[in-house]
Amino acid sequence: MRATEGLSVSAMDIATQLPALEKALDEIRFALDDMAMTPRVRDYQAAAASYTRMIETWLSSAPSNAQRDAVFECVMDLHSEICAVSGVRAVAHAFLAFVENAEKTGTAG
C-alpha cells in the first residue's frame, strides 16, 4: 500500500499546491527585488505579501477547497504577470552576463 493511498483528494491538493505556491511566491519576490520601485511594483509586492500571509495561516487552520483554489489561481496569475513583465529584463541580464563572461574568458567571437 502506498503512503498516499489513504489521503483524501483535498489533502493531496494541499500537499502538491503548497510547495508550488511557495516556489511561485519566492520567484515573484526575487523578480520584484530586481525591478525599479514604482507604484505598480509596490502593488505587486503588497499582493505577494498578502498571499504569503494567507498561506502561512494554512499551517494552523486548513483552508476550504474554494479558498485554496482561489489563492492558488491568484498567485499563479500574479506569477504569470511578473514573469511577463520581468522576462525581458531577465533575458537581457542573462545575455549581458554571458557576453561579460565570454569577454573575460576570451571565448567571445
Return d(Cα 57, Cα 67) in angstroms, integer.
12
Return d(Cα 105, Cα 51) in angstroms, integer.
43
Tens of pLDDT along 58-98? 888 888 888 988 998 999 999 989 988 887 666 566 666 67
Tens of pLDDT along 4-45? 333 343 444 666 778 888 888 998 998 898 888 999 999 999
Q: Domain extents for the chain?
A: 10-105
3-state secondary structure of 4: coil
* pTM passes above 0.75: no
Give yes or no for a contact between 47 and 78, defined as CB atoms under 8 angstroms apart. Answer: yes
DSSP assignment of 9-67, as one string? HHHHHHHHHHHHHHHHHHHHHHHHHTS---HHHHHHHHHHHHHHHHHHHTTTSPPPHHH
Give yes or no for a contact between 55 and 47, defined as CB atoms under 8 angstroms apart. Answer: no
Q: What is the pLDDT of residue 94?
A: 62
